[in-house]
Amino acid sequence: MLFVPNKLLLEKAMAEGYAVGAFNTNNLETTRAIVRAARELDSPLILATSEGAINYAGINNLKTMAEIAAQESGLPISLHLDHGTSLEIVMRCIRHGWSSVMYDGSKLPFEENVANARQVVELAHLVGVSVEGELGRLVGVEDNISVTEREAAMTDPDQAQEFVKRTGVDALAVAIGNAHGFYKGEPQLDFIRLEQIRARVEVPLVLHGASGIPDEGIRRAVKIGVDKINIDTEVRAAFQKAVASFLAENPQVIDPRKILGPAIKAMSEVVKSKIELFGSVGKA
């Protein structure tokens, strides 16, 4: 297998006390920016592709771009399905050579999430593909909900233990107050809950929605034992800002290569700063 399964990357991270960054990509510029950053810092890497990214770019395009970037870099790189919500998309990615899949049944009732995740694990493990499950719901930053509702959506440590045992997932994504997109104000992460989950679960833990979490919060999460950290929004924002300011200054330029060049650099800088923060420099 060209790509490295998450299980291998994350077990090393767990043993050595750092986290591997999972960065979302949906085009050539982003893929190259992410891989360039990892190469400069000699870091392992997870290239994350959502169903939306696959629909946008086409599964063969995404795979081939990742494949060439991985080959040229010589780094241990995983090609990972992010937030897969059906067996169809999971199987499609496995068939196309992804080395890791996330089955996200977090919006389903517990028993249904367990049954589906178990099924994904049985199939994926036959061909050496790693599986990430999710328990607890990530509340959207826009959702106007009460503290009680927010707490109810968080991962229950006992249930997490049961979930991992019954499904056989290789990694578990947790909800501890983290959310996708930029946070309104300072994120309130429940680190005590994270410690309780860590104490009950043996597999690597995953933190989604890490854009906008202050560096101190990320360091604390890694110290407690988060082994994979997902970043998307901050990379997108760097892309948007670079393109917008380039066009504002150079409205006459129509060459996409000139317009997108600064965006690649800006995205790469964000990825590099995250890799440094996660502690995976030199761990390739």
Give me the active site residues, please: 82
231 is a contact residue toward ligand G3H (CB under 6 A):
yes
The answer to whether residues 99 and 131 touch, using CB atoms and an 8 Å cutoff, is no
Query: How far is the CA of 73 from the CAs of 32, 37, 45, 63, in angstroms?
Result: 10, 10, 11, 15
Closer CB to ligand G3H, residue 200 or residue 236? Answer: 236
Give the three-state DSSP class for 210: coil
Q: Is the dihedral of CA 85, 239, 213, 146 positive or negative?
A: negative
232 is a contact residue toward ligand G3H (CB under 6 A):
yes
Query: How far is the CA of 108 from the CAs of 27, 32, 155, 265, in angstroms?
Result: 31, 35, 13, 39
Closer CB to ligand G3H, residue 57 or residue 231? Answer: 231
130 is a contact residue toward ligand G3H (CB under 6 A):
no
Count of residues binding ligand G3H (CB under 6 A)? 13
Q: Which of 233, 242, 260, 275 binds ligand G3H (CB under 6 A)?
A: 233
Q: Which of 181, 198, 281, 284 binds ligand G3H (CB under 6 A)?
A: 181
CB under 5 to 8 A by kind: which of ligand G3H, Zn ion, none does 100 bind? none
Min separation Cβ 235 and ligand G3H, Å:
8
CB under 5 to 8 A by kind: which of Zn ion, ligand G3H, none does 225 bind? none
Contact mark string toward ligand G3H, 64..103, x via CB under 6 A: ------------------xx--------------------
Min separation Cβ 253 and ligand G3H, Å:
29
Closer CB to Zn ion, residue 167 or residue 230? Answer: 230
Min separation Cβ 22 and ligand G3H, Å:
7
208 is a contact residue toward Zn ion (CB under 5 A):
yes
Give the three-state DSSP class for 65: helix
If one counts every other C-beta atom within 10 angstroms of the C-beta of residue 144, the result is: 6
Closer CB to Zn ion, residue 136 or residue 262? Answer: 136
Beta carbons within 8 Å of 160's beta carbon, 6+ residues apart: 135, 136, 172, 174, 197, 200, 201
Binding-site residues for dihydroxyacetone phosphate, please?
Answer: 181, 209-211, 230-233
* Distance between CA atoms of residues 248 and 208, nearest Å: 33
Give the three-state DSSP class for 267: helix
Closer CB to Zn ion, residue 208 or residue 228? Answer: 208
The tokens of 259 are what? 């317009």
Contact mark string toward Zn ion, 209..238, x via CB under 5 A: ---------------------x--------
The answer to whether residues 102 and 80 touch, using CB atoms and an 8 Å cutoff, is yes
* CA dihedral of 194, 207, 128, 120, whole degrees rounded to 10: 80
Q: Which residues of the chain form contacts with Zn ion (CB under 5 A)?
A: 208, 230
